[in-house]
């Protein structure tokens, strides 16, 4: 088992974690939503559309979204640090509240166009230890807008004759604030756990004389479909005050506990602390044989890196 947490937002006073949304209720009754943020496969567009439909009481089929267009969207920060559900989602929610209030005061009529927009900036954040900066601004000292928390457990089977480890099951409990789309969240957690599985047990990218030893994708040791364990996903909903409907998102944090959870399970199975990755059959067998798993000292690691990175000079003199 292992636990971890990760920041939601860039924070640390680098720049404001923000999001923005423009809404255009068109003459045909459809809603055009223009959102600042990029969908890289994480389900951003779906989540933003769901937030708008819930807030306005609209059919999701009557909402279409534009994002990633710098000519149309309001400038905001990057789509990183699992911040888009909190920041972009909050902007969508507030823009929809403004539009709803406008419609309540003056009902919409077919053929009429109505607009609303909102720019959201999270509470101020400060560099680590900058208590004075927070005091001067009269703000609460914090490094990031929010945090995501996770605990995961791994169940493994170890063949002590071969050193081979089989990952049987992952139990993953994550505080997501509020699950806007549980199906998308579970999919992200499955993918993240597979990444951690590879890092823990099979993946490696060794080099020799500065050149990769493994030159084919299939040689890298990425987990395959048949290596996928059973997953038990537990979504903890502890609402985040800044997030839309209490949501704060999930992405990178899902990779934080899984590797140490797997390594902890392997260590318990063989009775020897494994402290290097990947825990390949060779590493596991050596630990069983010697009763220890030695990690090179920092000096040894630096010497190995220096030796590995020695410049390779072909005979024609081209470096």
Q: Provide the token pair at 59.
A: 């059919």
Which residues, 6 or more positions from 123, have their beta carbon under 8 angstroms from its beta carbon?
139, 140, 142, 145, 242
Q: Which of 54, 186, 237, 252 is catalytic?
A: 252
- Please state whether the peptide bond connecting residue 278 to the residue before it is cis, i.e. omega within 30 degrees of 0: yes
Residue 187 burial by CB count (10 A; 0-12/13-18/19+): exposed, middle or buried?
middle
Q: Is 54 a catalytic residue?
A: no
Residue 120: C-alpha distances to residues 18, 23, 95, 293 (Å): 5, 14, 9, 50
Residue 142: C-alpha distances to residues 76, 84, 96 (Å): 21, 19, 29
Cα–Cα nearest to 140, from 165, 120, 158, 122: 122
What amino acid positions are annotated as catalytic residues?
Answer: 252
């Amino acid at each position: 088992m292992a636990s971890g947490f990760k920041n939601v937002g860039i924070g640390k006073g680098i720049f404001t974690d923000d999001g923005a949304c423009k809404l255009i209720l068109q003459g045909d009754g459809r809603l055009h939503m223009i959102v600042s943020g990029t969908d890289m496969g994480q389900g951003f567009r779906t989540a933003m559309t769901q937030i708008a439909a819930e807030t306005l009481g609209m059919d999701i089929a009557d909402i279409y979204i534009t994002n990633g267009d710098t000519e149309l969207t309001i400038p905001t920060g990057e789509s990183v640090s699992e911040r888009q559900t909190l920041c972009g989602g909050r902007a969508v929610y507030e823009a929809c509240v403004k539009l709803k209030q406008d419609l309540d005061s003056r009902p919409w009529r077919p053929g009429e166009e109505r607009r609303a927009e909102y720019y959201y900036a999270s509470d101020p954040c400060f560099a680590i230890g900058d208590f004075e900066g927070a005091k001067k601004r009269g703000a609460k000292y914090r490094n990031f807008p929010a945090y995501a928390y996770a605990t995961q457990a791994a169940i493994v089977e170890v063949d002590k004759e071969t050193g081979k480890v089989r990952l049987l099951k992952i139990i993953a409990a994550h505080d997501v604030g509020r699950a806007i789309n549980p199906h998308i969240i579970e999919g992200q957690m499955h993918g993240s756990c597979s990444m951690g599985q590879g890092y823990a047990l099979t993946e490696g990218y060794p080099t020799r004389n500065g050149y990769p030893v493994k030159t084919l994708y299939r040689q890298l040791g990425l987990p395959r479909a048949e290596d996928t364990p059973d997953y038990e996903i537990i979504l903890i909903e502890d609402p985040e005050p800044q997030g839309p409907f209490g949501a704060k998102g999930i992405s990178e944090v899902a990779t934080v506990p899984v590797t140490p959870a797997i390594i902890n399970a392997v260590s318990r199975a063989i009775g020897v602390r494994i402290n290097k990755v990947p825990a390949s059959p060779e590493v596991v067998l050596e630990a069983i044989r010697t009763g220890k798993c030695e990690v090179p000292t920092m000096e040894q690691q630096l010497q190995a890196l220096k030796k590995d990175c020695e410049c390779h000079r072909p005979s024609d003199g081209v470096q």
